C-alpha cells in the first residue's frame, strides 16, 4: 500500500488584507468578508515564483521524509502558474533539489487540482512497482485580475508530498482514491492571458459543489465508510464559504473541518490549497486517524483520497515546520506594494 | 549582465548545493541606484555573508526589514529569480540570494 | 636607463557633448606632442588605456583606431584593467622602453561615457566586478559602500569624516581649469546629497565624465635633453588581488595597493614619507581614506580622520593628495584617469601647476586602481 512518508509546506511571508483591496475599489470590507470569509491572502515576494516556492516546500518534505533526494524516482508538479508555457517546472525543481537524472517527470495542469492529480499518478506508479519513492508538489504564485472577485482570494503557496511504500516510513496510508471529472467551463485562462476568467455564480453549484459532492459520495461508498467514521475532512478552499458548505452537504461537522481551513489565514493558493489544508491537518493528527480529502479543479474535476495516519507521524513531525509555525511571522503590505510584487506595475 | 541558457545550466550543480545554508552578515549596503535590470527591485540590500562553512558570498538580501541590516544578522540562503520583470522570451535565471533568519 | 616624460597633456574633463573619442584623443595627443617638441612620426608605438569602448560603444580594435588618429601606422596596443587601464597602459609602455624594443612612445588614456544613459553606464562599470557580484545586484558604488560599512565599523569613522574627502578634492579642483566640478562644497552638502548605496551618497562618488590624457615618454636621452625641466618616471609597479570583494582577507585594505606601493618604494630605496605629492584613486570617498593608509602615508584606520584634519590639503598638509581635485572633482573618464594623474604630477614637479601648485614638490606618486582593488598601479616620478 502507498502512503505519505513526508510533506513540506511553504507559505510566503507577505499578506495583503482583503480590507486593503476593498479600500482600493471603494467596496465595503465587511461586505467582502461576509461574502468570502477571507481576511487576508499570502503573496509571493517579487522574485519568487512557482519554481522557487516548490523548491522550498520540496526541501522540507525531503527533510521530514528522512530520505536522500536522489532516491526519488518521480517528480510531478501541478500549478496554474508554471513559469514557462513550454519548459518543465518539474525538472528545474528536481535539479535544484538534487534528485539526479533517474526519475519520471512532468508538469501538470488541472486548475486547482493539478497537485492532487499528480498524487494519483504517483499512487499508480507505486502500486505498479515502477517506483519506490515519488514527489508531488502543488504550488502557485497566483494572480487575480484587479477589481475582480478573485482578487481577494488568489494567493501563493506550495505543498510538497513524498509518497512511498515502506511501512516503517509511512505516516499516512492512502486507503483509496477516485476522481469525478467532467467538462464544465466555470473558470479558465487562455494562452497568453495574464489573468484567469470565470463565470461568476456558475462556479458554485454546477461546478465546485457538483464535483466535490459527487466525488465525496463516491469516495464514501468506495471506502464503505460514513462521515462519522472520519476524524478530519479537507476540501479545496476557493474561499472560506465553499468548504464549510461542502462539509455540511456531505455530513461532516464543523469540528471535523476546522483544522483544515487554512484559507482563513492565507486565502486560496490554487494548486496548493487543498494540499496545504491537508498539511495543517497532518500537523495535528494523532496516529490511526482517518482523513477525508476532496480537491477541486475548475474545468472540472475532483480528486478524492482517504488517508489514515500511522504511529510514524509522531516522530517524523518533529522534523517539520508546521503550518502554524510557517505562518507566524508575516508582513502586511499595501495595495501598491502588492501590485509591485505581483508584477502588475 | 548577459544570461545565457548555457551559463545557467553549467552553474546548476554548484548553485543547487548552496541552497539552505546558514550564515551571518559581515558587511551590508542598500542599493538605491541599481544596474538596469534591477530597477524594479530597488532599493534592496546587497550583503557579504560569512557562511557556517566559512565560505563568503556577496548576495542580495530579500524578505528584509530595516532591523535586519546589521553586522551579525543571521541569514539563510534561498533560490530566487535573478530578474523580476515578467514577459520577454528569454530563459528565467535563478540565483542564490539570502533572507534573514 | 631613465624613463623621461617629454610631454604631458589632458583635455578638459566633464560632460563634453561635442566631443567624440577621436577628438578627445587627438586633442590630448597633440598637446603631449607639442610639449615634447617631437613629431608624431618620431613615436615608435602607441599604448592606449580604455575600459568601456567595447561594452558601451561596441568598438573593439581601438588601439589601431587611435593610432590612425595620431596619423601613424605604428604598433598600437590597448590595455584594460577597469579603472586602472590608463596606469596599465603606461606600465606596459615603460616595460617596452626598458626592454629596448621601443625608444619613444605615446601613452593615451581616453574615455567617452556621456554618450550613454547612466543606467547603461552603471551596468557597464560592473563589468569590473565578478559574475557573482553582478548577480547579487551589486553596483560599483555598492561594492565600495560595503567597504565603507566595514571601515566605519572597524575604525569608528563617520559619514561626516568620510565626506571631508570630497570637500578637500572640490577645494583643490576649484584651482584646476580642467576640472569637471570647480565648485566648493561642504560636509553638509555631501551629507544632504542623494543616497546611491548606503552609506555612500551622490557627493561621495566620482562622476561620469568624458576626457583624455596623454604622455610621451622616452629612453632617448638626446630627445630628453631638449626639455627644460626633465621629469623621470623612476618606479612603476603593478599588483593584483581577487576579482570579487568577498574573497578578500580584509574589506578595509586593498592588498594590491600595499604590494604595489611597497615594491615601488623599495625599487628606488625610499619610503612613503618621502613623497611630497600624490594623485590617488578616489573613485569614492572611502577609496581615498583607504588609499592614504595603504600607500603608507597614514596609519591604518587613521586615513579618513587625517584627511578630515587637513593633513592632505593644499597649503595645510604635508603630503598633498589629489591637487588636481582627484576623481571626484576633476572627473573620472575611466581610462584617462591613470594618465591624467601622471600629467598632474609632471606639472607639479615642473612647478607648472598654477594655483594648485604644491610648493617645492620633488617626488610625486600616482595610484590607479581597477575594480574593488583587483589591480593597482603605482608610479613614482621625480625631477
For residue range A106-156, list pLDDT tens digits in order: 999 999 999 999 999 999 999 999 999 999 999 999 888 999 999 999 999
Cβ atoms of A302 and A180 closer than 8 Å: yes
Measured CA to CA, the distance from residue C340 to residue C175 in angstroms comes to 16
Answer yes or no: do B39 and C119 touch at CB < 8 A.
yes
In this structure, are residues C380 and C234 in contact, taking their beta carbons and an 8 Å threshold?
yes
What percent of chain C is predicted at pLDDT more than 70?
100
| Closest-CA distance of chain A to residue B92, Å | 8
Q: Would you call C186 an interface residue with chain B, using a CB distance cutoff of 8 Å? A: no
Angstrom distances, CA of residue C250 to CA of A32, C148, C150, C265, C302: 57, 12, 9, 23, 16
Nearest CA distance, B97 vs chain C (angstrom): 7
Domains and CATH numbers, chain A: 3-170+328-341 (3.40.47.10), 172-315 (3.40.47.10)
Is C135's Cβ below 8 Å from some Cβ in B? yes
Helix/strand/coil for B74: strand
Structure confidence at residue B1 (pLDDT)? 63
Q: Does A188 touch chain B (CB under 8 A)?
A: no
Q: Do C251 and B31 touch (CB under 8 A)?
A: no
For B36, the closest of C120, C131, C245 (CB atoms) is C120
| Cross-chain residue pair B34–C147, CB shorter than 8 Å | no
Taking an 8 Å cut-off on Cβ atoms, the answer to whether B40 and A340 are in contact is yes
C-alpha cell recorded at residue A34 = 461576509
Is the Cβ of A84 closer than 8 Å to some Cβ of chain B?
yes
SS3 A188: strand
Asked if residues C215 and C343 have their Cβ atoms less than 8 Å apart, the reply is yes
Give every residue of chain B whose pLDDT is below 50, as ranges.
none
Query: Distance (Å, rounded) from C-alpha C258 to C-alpha C272?
Result: 11
Determine the topology of domain C140-208+232-382 in CATH. Answer: Peroxisomal Thiolase; Chain A, domain 1 (3.40.47)
Chains B, C: CB contacts within 8 A come to 96
User: Is residue A43 within 8 Å of residue A15, measured between CB atoms?
Assistant: yes
Could B57 and C251 be called an inter-chain contact, meaning their C-beta atoms sit closer than 8 Å? no
C332 assigned to active site: yes
pLDDT confidence of residue B89: 84
Burial of C249 (0-12, 13-18, 19+ CB in 10 A): exposed
Chain C residues 85-124 with a CB less than 8 Å from chain B: 118-120, 122-123
- Chain B residues touching residue A60 (CB < 8 angstroms): none
Q: In angstroms, how far is CA B101 from the centroid of its own chain?
A: 15
Beta strands A74-78 and A133-141: pairing type? parallel
Q: To the nearest whole angstrom, how far is the Cα of C100 from the nearest Cα of chain B?
A: 42
d(CA A306, CA A293) in angstroms, rounded, equals 6
- Over residues C276-303, the pLDDT tens digits come to 999 999 999 999 999 999 999 999 999 9
Which chain C residue has its CA at the smallest distance from B28's CA?
Answer: C146
**CB of C185 within 8 A of CB of C164?**
no
CB of B56 within 8 Å of a chain C CB? The answer is yes
Number of helices (H) and strands (E), helices first, in chain C? 15, 12
What's the rounded Cα separation, in Å, for the pair C211 and C178? 10
DSSP C315: T
Check residue A161 and give its pLDDT.
98
Residues in chain B with CB shorter than 8 Å from the CB of C131 are: 1
B82/A56 touch (CB, cutoff 8 Å), yes or no:
no
Per run of 10 residues, the mean pLDDT along chain A (length 345 residues) is: 97 97 94 93 96 98 98 98 96 97 98 97 98 98 90 97 98 98 94 90 94 98 97 98 97 98 96 98 98 97 98 94 95 95 87
pLDDT of residue C18 exceeding 70, the answer is yes
* Annotated catalytic residue, options A17, A56, A80, A169: A80
Q: Which of A48, A112, A169, A211 is catalytic?
A: A112
How far is the C-alpha of C279 from the C-alpha of B86, rounded, in Å? 46
Q: C6, C34 in Cβ contact below 8 A?
A: no
- Write down the domain spans for chain B: 5-100
Domain boundaries, chain C: 3-117+209-224, 140-208+232-382
Pick the CATH number of C3-117+209-224 from 3.20.20.410, 3.40.190.10, 3.40.50.300, 3.40.47.10: 3.40.47.10
**ipTM of the prediction:** 0.93
* Count of Cβ atoms closer than 10 Å to residue C250 Cβ: 13
Task: Retrieve residue A186's grid coordinates.
Answer: 466555470
Angstroms from C147 CA to nearest CA on chain B: 8
Q: Does A70 touch chain B (CB under 8 A)?
A: no
Residues of chain C contacting residue B6, judged by C-beta atoms under 8 Å apart:
none
Note if A80 is an active site residue: yes
Contacts for C356 with CB less than 8 Å, ≥ 6 apart: C172, C175, C176, C314, C323, C324, C325
Q: Is A112 a catalytic residue?
A: yes
CA-closest candidate to residue A55, choices C41, C68, B94: B94
Q: How far apart are CA C14 and CA C116, in angstroms?
A: 14
- Does C3-117+209-224 match C140-208+232-382 in CATH topology? yes
Query: Which of B10, B16, B99 would you mutate first to test chain A, the one with the most A CBs within 10 A?
Result: B16
| Residue tagged active-site, from C83, C205, C283, C330 | C83
Cell numbers given for A46: 517579487
Residues of B in contact with C247 (CB under 8 A): 56
Q: Which of C91, C281, C332, C367 is catalytic?
A: C332
Amino acid at each position: 500500500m502507498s502512503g505519505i512518508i513526508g510533506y513540506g509546506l511553504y507559505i510566503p511571508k507577505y499578506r495583503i488584507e482583503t480590507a486593503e483591496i476593498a479600500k482600493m475599489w471603494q467596496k465595503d470590507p465587511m461586505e467582502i468578508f461576509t461574502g468570502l470569509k477571507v481576511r487576508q491572502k499570502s503573496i509571493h515576494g517579487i522574485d519568487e515564483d512557482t519554481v522557487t516556492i516548490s523548491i522550498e516546500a520540496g526541501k522540507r518534505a525531503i527533510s521530514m521524509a528522512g530520505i536522500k533526494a536522489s532516491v526519488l524516482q518521480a517528480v510531478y508538479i501541478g500549478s496554474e502558474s508554471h513559469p514557462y508555457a513550454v519548459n518543465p517546472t518539474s525538472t528545474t525543481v528536481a535539479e535544484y533539489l538534487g534528485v539526479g537524472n533517474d526519475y519520471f517527470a512532468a508538469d501538470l495542469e488541472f486548475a486547482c487540482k493539478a497537485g492532487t492529480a499528480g498524487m494519483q499518478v504517483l499512487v499508480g506508479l507505486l502500486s505498479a512497482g515502477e517506483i519506490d519513492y515519488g514527489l508531488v508538489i502543488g504550488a502557485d504564485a497566483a494572480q487575480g485580475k484587479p477589481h475582480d472577485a478573485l482578487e481577494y482570494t488568489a494567493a501563493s503557496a506550495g505543498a510538497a508530498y513524498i509518497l512511498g511504500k515502506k511501512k516503517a516510513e509511512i505516516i499516512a496510508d492512502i486507503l483509496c482514491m477516485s476522481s469525478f471529472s467532467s467538462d464544465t467551463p466555470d473558470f479558465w485562462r487562455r494562452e497568453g492571458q495574464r489573468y484567469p476568467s470565470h463565470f461568476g455564480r456558475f462556479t458554485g453549484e454546477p461546478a465546485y459543489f457538483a464535483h466535490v459532492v459527487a466525488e465525496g459520495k463516491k469516495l464514501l461508498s468506495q471506502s464503505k465508510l460514513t462521515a462519522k467514521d472520519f476524524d478530519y475532512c479537507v476540501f479545496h478552499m476557493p474561499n472560506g464559504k465553499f468548504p464549510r458548505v461542502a462539509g455540511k452537504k456531505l455530513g461532516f461537522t464543523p469540528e471535523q473541518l476546522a483544522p483544515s481551513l487554512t484559507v482563513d489565514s492565507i486565502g486560496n493558493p490554487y494548486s496548493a490549497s487543498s494540499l496545504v489544508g491537508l498539511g495543517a491537518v497532518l500537523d495535528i493528527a494523532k496516529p490511526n486517524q482517518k482523513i477525508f480529502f476532496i480537491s477541486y479543479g475548475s474545468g472540472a474535476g475532483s480528486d478524492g483520497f482517504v488517508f489514515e495516519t500511522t504511529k510514524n507521524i509522531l516522530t517524523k513531525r518533529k522534523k517539520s515546520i508546521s503550518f502554524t509555525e510557517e505562518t507566524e511571522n508575516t508582513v502586511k503590505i499595501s495595495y501598491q506594494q502588492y501590485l509591485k510584487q505581483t508584477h502588475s506595475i | 549582465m548577459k544570461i545565457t541558457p548555457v551559463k545557467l545550466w553549467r552553474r546548476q550543480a554548484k548553485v543547487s548545493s548552496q541552497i539552505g545554508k546558514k550564515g551571518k552578515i559581515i558587511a551590508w549596503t542598500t542599493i538605491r541606484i541599481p544596474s538596469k535590470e534591477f530597477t524594479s527591485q530597488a532599493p534592496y540590500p546587497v550583503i557579504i555573508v560569512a557562511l557556517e562553512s566559512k565560505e563568503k558570498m556577496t548576495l542580495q538580501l530579500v524578505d528584509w526589514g530595516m532591523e535586519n541590516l546589521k553586522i551579525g544578522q543571521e541569514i539563510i540562503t534561498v533560490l530566487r529569480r535573478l530578474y523580476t520583470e515578467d514577459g520577454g522570451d528569454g530563459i528565467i535565471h535563478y540565483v542564490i540570494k539570502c533572507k534573514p533568519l | 636607463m631613465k624613463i623621461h616624460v617629454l610631454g604631458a597633456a589632458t583635455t578638459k574633463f566633464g560632460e563634453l557633448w561635442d566631443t567624440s573619442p577621436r577628438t578627445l584623443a587627438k586633442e590630448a595627443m597633440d598637446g603631449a606632442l607639442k610639449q615634447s617638441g617631437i613629431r608624431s612620426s618620431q613615436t615608435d608605438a602607441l599604448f592606449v588605456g580604455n575600459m568601456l569602448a567595447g561594452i558601451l560603444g561596441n568598438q573593439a580594435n581601438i588601439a589601431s583606431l587611435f593610432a590612425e588618429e595620431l596619423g601613424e601606422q605604428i604598433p598600437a596596443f590597448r590595455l584594460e584593467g577597469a579603472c586602472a587601464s590608463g596606469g596599465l597602459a603606461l606600465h606596459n609602455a615603460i616595460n617596452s622602453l626598458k626592454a629596448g624594443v621601443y625608444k619613444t612612445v605615446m601613452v593615451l588614456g581616453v574615455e567617452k561615457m556621456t554618450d550613454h544613459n547612466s543606467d547603461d553606464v552603471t551596468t557597464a562599470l560592473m563589468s569590473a566586478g565578478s559574475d557573482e557580484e553582478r548577480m547579487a545586484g551589486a553596483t560599483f558604488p555598492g561594492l565600495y559602500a560595503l567597504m565603507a560599512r566595514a571601515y566605519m565599523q572597524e575604525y569608528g569613522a563617520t559619514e561626516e569624516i568620510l565626506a571631508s574627502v570630497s570637500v578637500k578634492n572640490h577645494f583643490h579642483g576649484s584651482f584646476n581649469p580642467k576640472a569637471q566640478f570647480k565648485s566648493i562644497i561642504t560636509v553638509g552638502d555631501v551629507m544632504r546629497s542623494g543616497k546611491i548605496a548606503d552609506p555612500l551618497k551622490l557627493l561621495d562618488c566620482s562622476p561620469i565624465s568624458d576626457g583624455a590624457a596623454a604622455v610621451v615618454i622616452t629612453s632617448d636621452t638626446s630627445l630628453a635633453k631638449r626639455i627644460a625641466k626633465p621629469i623621470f618616471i623612476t618606479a612603476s609597479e603593478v599588483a593584483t588581488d581577487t576579482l570579487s570583494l568577498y574573497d578578500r582577507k580584509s574589506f578595509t585594505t586593498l592588498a594590491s595597493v600595499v604590494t604595489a606601493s611597497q615594491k615601488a618604494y623599495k625599487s628606488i630605496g625610499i619610503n612613503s614619507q618621502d613623497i611630497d605629492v600624490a594623485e590617488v584613486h578616489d573613485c569614492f570617498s572611502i577609496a581615498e581614506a583607504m588609499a592614504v593608509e595603504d600607500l603608507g602615508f597614514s596609519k591604518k584606520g587613521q586615513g579618513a580622520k587625517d584627511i578630515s584634519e587637513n593633513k592632505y590639503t593644499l597649503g595645510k598638509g604635508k603630503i598633498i593628495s589629489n591637487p588636481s581635485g582627484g576623481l571626484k572633482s576633476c572627473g573620472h573618464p575611466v581610462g584617462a584617469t591613470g594618465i591624467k594623474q601622471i600629467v598632474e604630477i609632471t606639472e607639479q614637479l615642473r612647478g607648472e601647476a598654477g594655483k594648485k601648485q604644491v610648493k617645492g614638490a620633488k617626488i610625486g606618486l600616482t595610484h590607479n586602481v581597477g575594480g574593488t582593488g583587483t589591480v593597482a598601479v603605482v608610479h613614482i616620478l621625480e625631477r
